[in-house]
Structure formats: C-alpha cells, structure tokens
Amino acid sequence: MSYHNPVLLNECIEGLNIEPSGTYVDLTFGGGGHSRAILEKLGPDGRLFGFDQDPDAQANIPDDPRFTLIPQNFAFLERFLRFYNAIPCDGILADLGVSSHQFDEVERGFSIRGDADLDMRMNPTSGKTAADILADYEEADLANVLYRYGEIRASRAIARAIVARREEEPIKRVSDLLNVISKWTPKFKGHKFQAQVFQALRIEVNGELDVLKEMLASTPKALRPGGRLVIMSYHSLEDRMVKQFIREGVFEGEAERDMYGNRFVPFEPVVRKAIVANESEVEENSRARSARLRIAERTEYNPK
C-alpha cells in the first residue's frame, strides 16, 4: 500500500506553472508524491522545500540535493523560508487534511475503521490528544467543537452524554467514543456521521483552521508577484477560508478599495471555481470526491 495517493496531482503541478530554475514549497510533504512530481519539472538550479511535522514522513525524503525537508508545522512557513533564504519563492502547494497513511495507521486514532487510542495528533510528540479533550473540556466547549468543526446538529446532547460517560469511565479509545455517540448515529450514512464527529475532534486537536489561517496570511510575503498558490481542501470549513482569502485578501469582510473602486488584493484567482476530480479518479480514490482545488497568482499589491 502506498503512503498516500495524491488527488488531482496533474492539476496541482500544472497550477504551480513551474519554472525549471524556480524555488517551490510543498507544505504537506507526506509521502512525497507532489514533491517528486515537482522535482521532475525542476532543472539543476531549482529548489524545493517540503514541510511535514509528522515524523513518519521522513522515511519518504527523496535522494535529491535540490530538496530540503523542514520537519515543522506549515504555520511557520515564512520563518523557515527566511532562514533558508528562500523568499520570495515561485510557488506554494498545500494538500490539506489527513494523509491516507495517517488514516491507515490504526494506532494513530484518526479512523473509525479500527479500535485504537484516541490520539489524532498529526505531530504525535506534542499537544493534547483527542482523549485529553474528551476528558478535560467543559460540556459547552465540547458542544462548540462538535457543532463548529463537525456541523453536528445534536452537538449539545452528545457533549452532555460525553460528560456523563466520562464520570463513569474514561473515553480513551475509538470504540468508547463510537459507543457514546451510537444513540445519534443514523442507520443509513452512519459512517458519515461518525466521520464528522472524528473530524471535529481532529481539527480541534491539531488547531487546523488556526494553522491554515496563519499559513495563508504569510503567503503574500513568501511569494513573488506572479508566483502561484495552489491549495487543495477536503471539507467546506477549509475551502471557505481559502476561497475567501484568495478573493478578498482578508478572512472576514471585503477587500480594501481605493476611491475609484479598485480592490487591493494580494491574489488573483487563476480559476474562478474550484477544480474537482472526475468520476474515474473518484472511482480509483474515494477521497477525491470531496477534494476542492483552488489556484491563485500573486499580484503586485503588498499588504501592510
């Protein structure tokens, strides 16, 4: 089994509009599928930097002097590119979410397909686990996590049930949590509901939306005018944030305008609508069904 099967790989690489002597960044290195495809397009003077906080990814480092792996969260994009004298770069790629490898490694606790400790940390050496959150969060905070990140309508009732159950015994394993939410799990599409609950906890464990926001905010400083930003997301919370930032240059409201109505934005969309996978790719890789790819080009405008 491969570490990770990249979705919309050709579209991602084409979106970067790679120059052979350019400097590029793969923010979600993982199994190295995107990075290897980028390296094939680069000449001897090209450079590629990969980010991945998961120690498992280090086993996939290509034997190529043009490649440098930065074993850090991509929230630190600007800091490390400055350290490596790689600003401005020519293209940034991010394939968000959890890799196939992380789902398949049952002991990581990401998947509902097997029983394991409720961990869900993308960096398994730091931070709170999902079990910690279920044990420590107040009922209202748990309900907020489930509703905001999982769009769970019964979030308050489930949070109440979690608090009641943990008073009797800890909720430490996948099977424990599935048992708690079983009352609200529909007979049909039950896996989808369970996956939404797990998604909510995973986003909270890893601070995924906060990290995405921090990364996006740093991309105008990291990219040269004309450079490309290529972002693929797998749920609406991420995609809405990416779409809003590309369109307006801010995360809330609209872009600043001058007296003539001209908008001050750091990016211009290359494609107006998100690119989605075709049916043949979805048949080969079910994860492709929810993928949304957005591509933008850096403008001359420099935000304050």
Q: Find out whether 34 is annotated in a ligand binding site.
A: yes
Q: Could you tell me the domains of the chain?
A: 9-100+209-298 (3.40.50.150), 106-206 (1.10.150.170)
pTM of the predicted protein model: 0.92
What is the dihedral angle through the alpha carbons of 24, 26, 32, 37, rounded to the nearest 10 degrees? -40
Burial of 185 (0-12, 13-18, 19+ CB in 10 A): middle
Banded model confidence at residue 103, pLDDT cuts 50, 70, 90: low
Q: Find out whether 95 is annotated in a ligand binding site.
A: yes
Q: Find out whether 33 is annotated in a ligand binding site.
A: yes
Q: Which of 1-10, 135-144, 187-196, 220-229 has the lowest mean pLDDT?
A: 1-10
Burial of 76 (0-12, 13-18, 19+ CB in 10 A): middle
Give pLDDT, residue 111: 76
Q: Find out whether 58 is annotated in a ligand binding site.
A: no
Banded model confidence at residue 108, pLDDT cuts 50, 70, 90: confident
Q: Find out whether 141 is annotated in a ligand binding site.
A: no
Does residue 104 surpass a pLDDT of 60? no
* Per-residue model confidence as pLDDT tens digits over 254-295: 988 888 888 899 999 999 999 999 999 998 888 889 999 999
**223, 92 contact by CB (below 8 A):** yes
Q: Find out whether 52 is annotated in a ligand binding site.
A: yes
Banded model confidence at residue 107, pLDDT cuts 50, 70, 90: low
Banded model confidence at residue 39, pLDDT cuts 50, 70, 90: very high
* Per-residue model confidence as pLDDT tens digits over 264-275: 999 999 999 999
* Per-residue model confidence as pLDDT tens digits over 166-180: 999 999 999 999 999
